[in-house]
Amino acid sequence: MGYCLSMLSNHTDAEEAAQDVFVKAYRSLDKFKGNSSFSTWLYRITANHCLDVLRKRNRRKTLSLDSLVEDQGDQIHELFSTAPVAASQMENRDLTGKILSTLPPDYRTILTLREADGLEYQEIAVILDCSLDAVKGRLSRARKQLQENLRHFLQEKDVNTEG
């Protein structure tokens, strides 16, 4: 559910996707060969399903980074300049999902697997069916793109902590 939420940035869509994933996994249990761990196999099904949902969603208008900054710039700045408070954690999670939604799906996928879910590089390579070097390269590009998208807020944070 957490992976679906970070990929889809919408609680309702994430719940529906998680249910769909478990149905797909149940129906495909006989195809699980044990070449990887069960959780890696399940992540792969989840990643593929979420990418399918995102592809279908592309027909709809998406939230641009500029409009997100315009609408919630103060909240984004606060998210990167203060430690989260328990009462605002859900709001921060939603905002983080919106920020991630400004990234291409492949960047969102790899950042979520590594940073949010804490998977090892080798597990990610199995899930994404790519080499270890490809994982490292994609992760580096995804981090750079996220940093570029948020450079205004990160620079302000650096300025505020220097003084």
The CA distances from residue 107 to 9, 55, 62, 99, 110, in Å, are: 14, 14, 16, 12, 5
Give the per-residue pLDDT at 65.
57
- Assign 82 a pLDDT band (cuts: 50, 70, 90): low
Q: Which pLDDT band, with edges at 50, 70 and 90, does 63 fall under?
A: low
Q: Is this prediction's pTM over 0.75?
A: no
7 or 79, greater pLDDT: 7
Mean pLDDT of 29-42: 89
Residue by residue, DSSP assigns 5-65 as HHHH--HHHHHHHHHHHHHHHHHTGGG--SSS-HHHHHHHHHHHHHHHHHHHHTTS----H
pLDDT over 80 (residue 99): no
Residue 156 has a CB neighbour count (10 Å cut-off) of 13
What does the pLDDT read at residue 163?
44
- Looking at residue 89, its pLDDT comes to 54
Q: Which helix (H) or strand (E) holds 148?
A: helix 132-149
Say yes or no to pLDDT of 143 above 60.
yes
* Amino acid, res. 78: E
Residue 27 has what pLDDT? 93
pLDDT at 76 (0 to 100): 60
